[in-house]
């Protein structure tokens, strides 16, 4: 058994910092996870959005104080959170600090800011954009991030979705050695995002 510490950092406007500890049998498993539609459960949050999550992920409350949705499987070391915030508050805050670029779209401003913020805490970082512009009929961006945080190599698949009033950040992550296995599952989670209205 090997003790694994997964640290997830997001602060205030962007999120907050939390630590998750799990004790598991380790070992790289290169097999890609292939789930059937029946392997997912649809979850509705705050009557605002719904998301399909693998049935092996369970609801938690200690991943991030700002998250409206928090699910994980600590044995598989797979984690999902969704954080949303008001679009106009984001714009106002970033314009106040001259960090908002009017020459690019809102979703590009938001995804760039969030990605930069999260990667600041990573070493050996790598950001790989997917060629994705829409999720559920909404403007969206999706990226993969890899990096080391407090000695652990972590792999993330992130989705940013622009609604009418709010913007949503869907963050999935695991140990980097398991990212190939769970990447398609993470992309499926993010791609299932739908606003209720």
Place of tokens 């979705």: 161
Predicted pLDDT at 197:
77
- Choice between 168 and 25, residue whose per-residue pLDDT is larger: 168
The whole-model pTM stands at: 0.83
Q: Which of 79, 77, 81 is nearest to 29 (CA)?
A: 77
Mean residue pLDDT across the chain: 86
Query: Is 150 in contact with 98 (CB distance < 8 Å)?
Result: no
């Amino acid at each position: 058994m090997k003790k694994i510490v997964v640290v997830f950092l997001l602060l205030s406007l962007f999120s907050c910092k939390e630590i998750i500890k799990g004790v598991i049998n380790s070992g790289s498993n290169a097999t890609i996870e292939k789930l059937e539609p029946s392997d997912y459960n649809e979850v509705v949050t705050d009557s605002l959005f719904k998301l399909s999550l693998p049935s092996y992920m369970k609801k938690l409350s200690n991943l991030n104080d700002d998250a409206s949705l928090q699910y994980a499987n600590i044995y598989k070391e797979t984690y999902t959170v969704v954080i949303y915030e008001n679009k106009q508050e984001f714009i106002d805050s970033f314009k106040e600090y001259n960090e908002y670029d009017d020459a690019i779209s809102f979703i590009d401003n938001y995804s760039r800011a969030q990605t930069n913020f999260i990667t600041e805490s990573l070493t050996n970082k790598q950001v790989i954009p997917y060629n994705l512009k829409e999720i559920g009929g909404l403007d969206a961006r999706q990226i993969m991030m890899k990096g080391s945080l407090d000695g652990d190599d972590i792999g993330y698949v992130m989705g940013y979705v622009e609604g009418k009033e709010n913007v949503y950040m869907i963050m999935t992550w695991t140990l980097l050695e398991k990212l190939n296995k769970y990447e398609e599952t993470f992309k499926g989670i993010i791609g299932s995002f739908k606003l209720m209205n």
